[in-house]
Structure 1
Amino acid sequence: MNSFAHSRMAWVVWGIGVFAYAVAVMHRGALGVAGLEAAAHFGTTAGVVSTFVVLQLAVYAVAQVPVGAMLDRFGSRAVITTGSLITGVAQVLLAVVDDLPLAYVARVLLGIGDACIFNSVLRLLPRWFTPRAVPVLSQVTGMAGAVGQIAAVGLVLPLIQHLGWTQGLLVATISSALAASMALLGIRNAPPGQESSTVADSWREMPRQVAGVLKHPATQLGFWIHFTCGFTYNTFVFMWGMPYLVISQGLTQPLAGVLFTLLSVAGMVAGPIIGTLTARHPLRRSTLALLVVGALVVTWTAVLLWPGRAPLALLVLLVLVIAVGGPGTGIGFDFPRTSLPHTRLGAANGVVIAGSFTGSTVLILLMGVFLDLISGGRSSYTADELRLAWTLQAPFFIVGVAGILTTRNALRRRMADDGVIVPTWREVADRIRRYRS
């Protein structure tokens, strides 16, 4: 297929996958925007509700590698269909129960179902589209997550507020049944006439194959980029962003909702830009990721050190930079794509996806425990307590940057063995000067 001369079927297959992913993110993010309503429904505190999110994200992260292995074996169609059905069942269960143990079961199921979708859509892209189009389309796929997050704010939250917890969630769950039906009927793992994109490893061989994927420096670099660019985004969106904006920064809930919408829209704008830069400058992909991380560190430092409430303009800047961190995670997927066979991309991308979700799971949990400790078990937190909780990000950034630099060096040594040398910035500058002279 020539660049962007892709068949209509390619766009249909991808579009269905994107819709399924948006639906999964909508359900994933529902508790992040309806945390107060969830606390009221279950008669508990926001700190306990945060454990719902932690459990879901932990399951999502842990499930990535086994789901990726299943994806390599059975293909995207089967995994997306199954994942959408599991997600729907999870939300139905969450809607009809009112005790915490069953609510935790629902979040475990949601984490498993959610883990099946995004990786499956990414795995379709190299089969249906040209290599140059894949980085951009990967970012556009990620933008569907922003659409899903907007739907969580603009659809699920109003449904819960107007129809009540049970009826609101049940109505929203119809979308999962639709996504599963569309995936089953419309998705194909590879274009007609092309060889199967799945592998027939025996169950005994799968651990060895997955271990090989885990050991590859491209997979490891992708993991650390995803971790460092994305843990703050997930923590902000799924749990502690809304309480921070409302309680610590004194914004009204509608205004905080506007900032959440801005975050989603900004991520949609930034995604194709980062995807284009990734495709045009493949030897500088990790540098682009480090620039995103640097912007996150600088902006969070400014907001957290600001005496009292930060100006609205600075909060808008923070939201915009966090939004760029979302697409920044997508840079991580490009390293396995260009270094590993496509039949192993399910497992490799699963490892990468686990990056930010591992980080955010731990951070959300730490923030919840920390807040409960310093608040003495109160059901609400003060502005200073939330500000202190967000400073717990610092060691995550340090570990993440160290991981990026270490694994980048390992990958570049392997690339050098294959004859691909990444020039230093001094060499690039000398080349530019010679060209201009």
Structure 2
Amino acid sequence: MAVVSPFRDPAPARLAFAVWGAGLAAYVVAVTGRTSLGVAGLQAVDRFEISAATLSLFSVVQLAVYAAAQIPVGLLLDRIGSRRLIATGAMVLAAGQLMLAVVDTLPMALAARVLVGVGDATAFVSVLRLVPAWFPSRRVPVLTQMTGIVGSTGQIISAVPFMAVLLRFGWTPAFVSLAALGVFMGIVAAIVVRDRPRLPAPAPARESVQPVGTGAEVPPAAVPARREKVSLRAVMGEPGTWLGFFTHFVSLFPTNTFVLLWGVPFLTAGQGRSAQEASVFLTVSALAGVVMGPVAGELQARHPLRRSWLVLGAAAFAIGAWTMVLVPTTPRPTWQLVVLVLALTSTATASNVGFDFARTFVPPARLGTATGVVNVGGFVASLISIYLVGLVLDLVRPDGHYVLDDFRAAFAAQGVVWVIGLTGLLTARHATRRRMAEGGVVVPPVREVIARMRNHHREG
């Protein structure tokens, strides 16, 4: 079983990294815009005179728009390419940030966040599309991880310089600065990013052919070498797409719930930390991801049949960390909060495995669409989780003067999303492995692999 690569021989490394780097910088700015309201949550409550549930509505609206845009954006990406989509998205996001900077009414602020969501929706999937176009397949898992993890450092910009501008100069200058940054990155993307290398096509006899899943979880049927029509139905009919969807679903929402809105209020009002200390925790999370990402990517490349175990392991780590923090009735020591943010970083890292499933199960001509479908999973789960936390906070403390017990109850509500996500993940994995078995690829049970390793060690 093989799929003909739609791309030519690898481009010069310097050029490839310049193109990817420009796209990645635009994604960092998009993440900064996405997370900016999380650190400005308390100021937003005062500016717009709103409750916690209404504050969560800002993130819910933005994430709903982001999620709803993913499939249309994916279809558009397969048609017009990354360069135009990244540049246009950066300008739309900048318009949303500029609007948010000057309005002071709730309806207009929500409209501004809609624009931010639309602009944000174009960045990640467009950059992911660049990776297999410009780099050898062996590097793709690591660079996919690095795209997500380096992109998440946008939260450092939100947590440190943006918060500093917000606290010193106020709401309008802080959001105007983000708008200016978005315009700058749109211009850079238009100049530097190219959809694929401009290299001469090799002779047909020397065309690059890649086994779809050398050791990977692959579909049972060969993918034709001809150019294919983008088909959403075909993408949705592949069990591997749903494996990627629920991987992203179960892995991303814990991080988004914390980083996008409720982490800073939890750390300040619930744990008694200062705003500066909260910024440090978010920075530790982002920096830890830079280390975790390449490690996870290398493990994916070396053990592609066990990628789902990375996801399950990260989920177990996060559930354990939240249990450790939420069960006690007193504020937690610093080391436990560090463990929590590291656990949330591990799930964010694991969420990128979902895009690797899309890459190995779906033909290249449909990769943008498949990536969009996978990306929907994490953000649908995120908006449900964010709203649940805000709803519980309003129910237990309508006056908005939150204490630790309020956050303990609110974050415990995430358990509902965990159950849905893990059930979907395990179901999709079973269906995917059944499809693989029909094509002659059998994933041996872990106990057999361990027994084989022990026997090999003894014989050695």
Alpha-carbon distance in structure 2 between the residues aligned to 1:378 and 1:312: 28
Deviation (angstroms), 1:382: 2.1
Partner of 1:365: 387
Partner of 1:176: 182
The secondary structure found in structure 2 opposite 1:191 is: coil
Q: Is the 8 A contact 2:97 2:179 kept in 1?
A: yes
Alpha-carbon distance in structure 2 between the residues aligned to 1:194 and 1:351: 32
Determine which of 303, 306, 328 is the counterpart of 1:284.
306
Q: Is the 8 A contact 1:266 1:323 kept in 2?
A: yes
Partner of 2:400: 379
Give the CA RMSD over aligned residues. Answer: 1.9
Q: Is the 8 A contact 2:236 2:242 kept in 1?
A: yes
Alpha-carbon distance in structure 2 between the residues aligned to 1:87 and 1:306: 41
How has the CA–CA distance of structure 1 residues 6 and 380 changed in structure 2, closer, same or farther, with 3 Å as cutoff? farther
Determine which of 332, 337, 340 is the counterpart of 1:318.
340
Alpha-carbon distance in structure 2 between the residues aligned to 1:200 and 1:332: 23
Cα displacement string for residues 226-274 of structure 1 (whole angstroms, at most 9, x for unaligned residues): 1111111000001111111112212222212111111111112111111
Deviation (angstroms), 1:356: 1.5
Partner of 1:148: 154
How has the CA–CA distance of structure 1 residues 344 and 135 changed in structure 2, closer, same or farther, with 3 Å as cutoff? same
Deviation (angstroms), 1:360: 1.1
Deviation (angstroms), 1:430: 2.6
Alpha-carbon distance in structure 2 between the residues aligned to 1:194 and 1:109: 40
Q: In structure 1, what residue type is equivalent to 2:111?
A: V
Runs of at least 4 residues off by over 6 Å: 1-5
Matches within 5 A, 1:256-405: 256-375=278-397, 377-405=398-426
The secondary structure found in structure 2 opposite 1:133 is: helix
Cα displacement string for residues 377-403 of structure 1 (whole angstroms, at most 9, x for unaligned residues): 313222211110000011211111111
Q: In structure 2, what residue type is equivalent to 1:272?
A: P
Alpha-carbon distance in structure 2 between the residues aligned to 1:194 and 1:300: 53
Deviation (angstroms), 1:48: 2.0
How has the CA–CA distance of structure 1 residues 199 and 250 changed in structure 2, closer, same or farther, with 3 Å as cutoff? farther
Partner of 1:255: 277
Alpha-carbon distance in structure 2 between the residues aligned to 1:312 and 1:335: 36
Alpha-carbon distance in structure 2 between the residues aligned to 1:82 and 1:199: 26
Alpha-carbon distance in structure 2 between the residues aligned to 1:383 and 1:81: 43
Partner of 2:125: 119
Deviation (angstroms), 1:2: 11
Determine which of 443, 447, 454 is the counterpart of 1:422.
443
Determine which of 45, 50, 57 is the counterpart of 2:56.
50
Q: Are 1:189 and 2:195 counterparts? A: yes
Alpha-carbon distance in structure 2 between the residues aligned to 1:270 and 1:107: 31
Deviation (angstroms), 1:426: 2.3
Q: In structure 2, what residue type is equivalent to 1:36?
A: L
Q: Is the 8 A contact 1:22 1:148 kept in 2?
A: yes
Q: In structure 2, what residue type is equivalent to 1:220?
A: W
Q: Are 1:108 and 2:114 counterparts? A: yes
The secondary structure found in structure 1 opposite 2:137 is: coil
Deviation (angstroms), 1:40: 2.0
Determine which of 87, 90, 113 is the counterpart of 1:84.
90
Deviation (angstroms), 1:163: 2.0
Alpha-carbon distance in structure 1 between the residues aligned to 2:136 and 2:42: 45
Structure 1 range deviating more: 287-296 or 156-165:
156-165
Q: Is the 8 A contact 1:64 1:350 kept in 2?
A: yes
Partner of 1:410: 431
Alpha-carbon distance in structure 1 between the residues aligned to 2:293 and 2:32: 19
Partner of 1:12: 18
Alpha-carbon distance in structure 1 between the residues aligned to 2:295 and 2:255: 18
Q: What's the TM-score, normalizing by structure 2? A: 0.89
Partner of 1:162: 168
Deviation (angstroms), 1:124: 0.8
Q: In structure 1, what residue type is equivalent to 2:167?
A: Q
Structure 1 range deviating more: 15-24 or 377-386:
377-386
Deviation (angstroms), 1:8: 2.0
Q: Is the 8 A contact 1:162 1:168 kept in 2?
A: no
Q: What's the TM-score, normalizing by structure 1? A: 0.94
The secondary structure found in structure 1 opposite 2:138 is: coil
Q: In structure 1, what residue type is equivalent to 2:424?
A: G
Determine which of 62, 72, 97 is the counterpart of 1:66.
72
Partner of 2:222: none
Deviation (angstroms), 1:122: 0.2
How has the CA–CA distance of structure 1 residues 435 and 4 changed in structure 2, closer, same or farther, with 3 Å as cutoff? farther
Provide the aligned length of Structure 1 versus Structure 2.
Answer: 428
Cα displacement string for residues 284-333 of structure 1 (whole angstroms, at most 9, x for unaligned residues): 00011101111111111121112322222111111111111111101111
Q: In structure 1, what residue type is equivalent to 2:177?
A: V
Identity of matched residues, %: 43
- Mark the runs of 5 or more structure 1 residues left unpaired by the alignment: none
Q: Is the 8 A contact 1:95 1:165 kept in 2?
A: yes
